[in-house]
Every structure is written in structure tokens, then in C-alpha cells.
Chain A
Amino acid sequence: MLPVERVIGEEGLAATAGGLKLAMRLPWYRSLPFSVVEVGPLAVDGEAVDLSDALIEYDGQQWPLSQNGEKVDTFWFIRDSAFLVLPSLRAEVGETREVSLNLFISPPYIPGMRRTNPQTSTLTVEAA
């Protein structure tokens, strides 16, 4: 998978007190505001995950995924992972999960471009 296409971050999947936490990379060559990134769909072990209570965690901040579209001045630095926090999902450290994630991006200077970036990986759940 090309670096500009990957969406599952190197830090993988972690079990936290607040649910599972999935690392994501921005599938583009430059930093973008979160407002132009659509997160999901997400499936774990083949089952679609309801993202209505999901949160984004980045650079010491956390916000509901549903507010992502308003984040026009919060930039996702291209080298960083951002994290998708899934309060309804639980797993034990050491278990494996097959994770399928798609991130759509609409670069804010290219009218009409919307890229799809599906990726599936089998991840071992880490400790937070």
C-alpha cells in the first residue's frame, strides 16, 4: 500500500478504559483540516461498526466524530496518527481483530476531487 493511501496507523488498535482506540493516518501528501476528512465506514471482524458515539483524538484534544465537518482550522499534520475512539467496542489485549476502514478526503484546493481509501488489516490489540 502506498504511503499516500494508507489509513490505518502504525500504532494499530489499543484497548483503553474508554473503548477501543484505532490509529489512523491521513491518506494524502500534505496536512489537511479535519473538516475535509470523512471517517468511515468501519468494520471489525466483518461487522459494520456504528460510529454515532465515536470520537476523534488528536494532539491532546478530543471531539465527537459528528463534529469533524466543523473543524476547518484544526489541521491533521501529515506525519501524525489521529485516533478513532470507539466507546462501544471492547477487546482484550493480545486478541486479534480484522479492521476495515475507509477515509474519504476532499482536498480543499481541488474542486470536485473526493478520494476513497479503503484498507483492511489484521491487528493485535495492544495495551493503551
Chain B
Amino acid sequence: MTTTATGPQTGVTLYSFTNEYLTRQFELDTLLAEVAKRGLGPNIEIIGFQNFREFPDVSDKFAEEFRQMIAETGLNPVSCAINSDRFLKPGAQPIEDAALVEYHKRQLRSAKKLGFSLVRYQFALPVHLLPEIAPYAEELDIRMGVEVHAPMWAGHPAVQAYGEMYDKLDTPYLGWIPDFGGTASRIPESMLDAARAKGAKEDLLDKLKEVWLEDGMSHEKAGRLREWAAPKGHGPLEIQAACLAFFILSNHDPKSWAALVDRTIHIHGKFYGVSEDLVEEAIDYDTILPLFKDGGFTGTMVSEWEGHAYDMRDAFEQVRRHQAMARRIWGS
């Protein structure tokens, strides 16, 4: 289901259906069939390490099976999310650069073999390794988009450092994948309700909202809240439920995405709850989406419902509403 012939396209990441998938209600093939049947594609994203058992090294046999699933459903495998797993031993030094480069190459090969046209990668990849990886992506003919995910945003120093390297390498194979959680206007009420259901008290949530607005990396802010909360008797599970917000959302100007539109190759339409009248509860889509259409973006925004991190709402209905909201804003 596309919005316009030449403008931004819609689609969905299977990550939205994490609850349905982890509880074994669907296999990969039946989940793809359900997405197709409900008209939530055809453009899809898949996290390699969520839906592909053989990841990061996919066999020819599985690749053929996957291509068959795609052919049968009529879906379009746009993006494969790969991971920049640099911290493989907690508390120890990150893995060697050469090992991390090879780890990316393995995933790039698998994504290509499966028929994806681009990969999502992560800032955990140090920027100085891009000159080693980018030529390999060019050779494979697969684009790479780094996910600008909370607490990152267009003005973050890490994004700027990547931008400078992108200028230097000057290749169409590298770009951005905005994740709108980086410019949330507020913490979703549904997330706060989930924390309350786990026993979080109002004073903890009030402090959460205060610290959430401060600067800093996610784990620094989580540390700040923990230091405040633990002596006051808040339990580790309540604190953890509150800290989730630091890792998936940050509060920056929704208009700031304008600076990244030119090199945006794909979008994560992150959301938490779209109402029946098609408004997302925490992210200002009415401000954000026109920036991309007006800026000439013609790639795909995949609907990425992340409420499964804290509750069990019907993901299919949420994705339907999110795509309807995008059509309302972009025009169908």
C-alpha cells in the first residue's frame, strides 16, 4: 500500500509484532502472510537477529526459502536491520575493530543474499571504521543507513561526526535512518501507565519526567534516576520500568529532522499509541512528516510500534492506524 506514486512510501517492520512473534502465534512465513493479507505492506523491514535463525550467516538454502515467502506474499523486502554488537563481553573492553568490521560484512552479505535493498546499522559502530565498510557495501550494491535513534538526533555530536565522514566518503551507499523516538514531545502516557502497573509511584514518575528532559546519554540519565530513587525506597523493577524511557525516547525539536532529509534513505516511524482519530500520543507526526515529503523523500517509512516493550495491545490495529495517519498527513 503506497501513499503516492512518487512521494514517501509506507510499510511496516516486523518488530512491531514482537509480542505475537515471541509468543509463537506466528512463524516467519505466517507472519509475512498476515502482513500481506491485512494490506500493511508491501514494503517491509526485518531485524536479522529477530526473524532469521541463521543470522548473522544465512545459508543459500534459507535465502531461497525466504525469497519464496516473499514471492508468495508479494511483499517487498526493503530493509534488513543489522546490529553493531560491539560490547560482547559485559564489563570488558569492546571487541577489536577488525572483528567488528567483519561482523558487519557477514550481516551485509546475508542481507544481500536475502534480497534486501538496504540495511539499518547503528552508532555503536565507531565512525572511523566507515571507510573500511562502505566500499564493501558498494561492492555488494546494498545501501547502509545509520539509525538516528534516541538519545541521538540531528544535532547530536555523534550524528555530526558521521555527517562529516559521509561528506568525506561522498557515496550514495551511506545515509540516515531517522527514528522519530529521538524527537518525542513527551513520554507516552501508555508507558507511564505500564510503569504504574508495575508499582512505580507518582514521585518516581515525576522525577523521571524531569531527568528525561536533561542532557546526557541514556545510561547516564538512568544512573541519575537510580541514584535519586533507590535511597527513597523505590524498587529495582519500578526503577527499571521508569528508565525504559531514557533508552527509547528523547526530547528534541521535531523540526530538527529537516537537516537530515537529503541523506535519509529510510525511516523508522516509531510510535507508541495512535488514537482512533489518528493522532500519535507522544510524537508530533503532523510537524515531522511534511518535512520529508517537502524535502523530496521517496523512500519508505516503516511503521514501528514499540508499545510491546511495555504492554500487549493489538499491534496489527496499531500499525493500521499509524499508516492511516501517515496517509492523512502525506495525502493518499
Contacts and interface: CB of A to CB of B under 8 A. Distances in A.
Contacts of A25: 22
Contacts of B308: 2-4, 29
B90 A114 contact: yes
A96 B124 CA distance: 45
A108 B240 contact: no
B236 A112 contact: no
Interface in B36-53: 47, 49-50, 53
A108 B124 CA distance: 9
A3 B23 contact: yes
Interface in A24-64: 25, 29-33, 35-36, 38
B309 interface: yes
Main SS at interface, chain A: loop
A78 B19 CA distance: 12
Contact-size category for B: 35 or more
Contact of B47 (A2, A30, A77): A30
A112 B23 CA distance: 28
A75 B24 contact: no
Interface in B217-248: 217-220, 222-223, 236-237, 240, 247
Nearest to A26: B22
B88 A4 contact: no
B87 A109 contact: yes
B15 A108 contact: no
Contacts of A108: 83, 85-88, 124
Given A3-B19, A3-B22, A111-B87, A30 B50 contact: yes
Contacts of A30: 47, 49-50, 83
A111 B217 contact: yes
A65 B79 CA distance: 36
A112 B222 contact: yes
A36 B85 CA distance: 11
Contacts of B237: 116, 118
A11 to B, nearest CB: 12
A36 B90 contact: yes
Interface of B: 15, 18-19, 21-24, 47, 49-50, 53, 55-56, 83-90, 95, 122, 124, 217-220, 222-223, 236-237, 240, 247, 308-312
16 contacts: A2-B19, A3-B308, A4-B18, A32-B49, A36-B89, A38-B90, A69-B89, A72-B89, A77-B53, A78-B49, A79-B21, A79-B22, A108-B83, A110-B218, A110-B247, A115-B240
Interface of A: 2-4, 10, 25, 29-33, 35-36, 38, 69, 72, 75, 77-79, 106, 108-116, 118
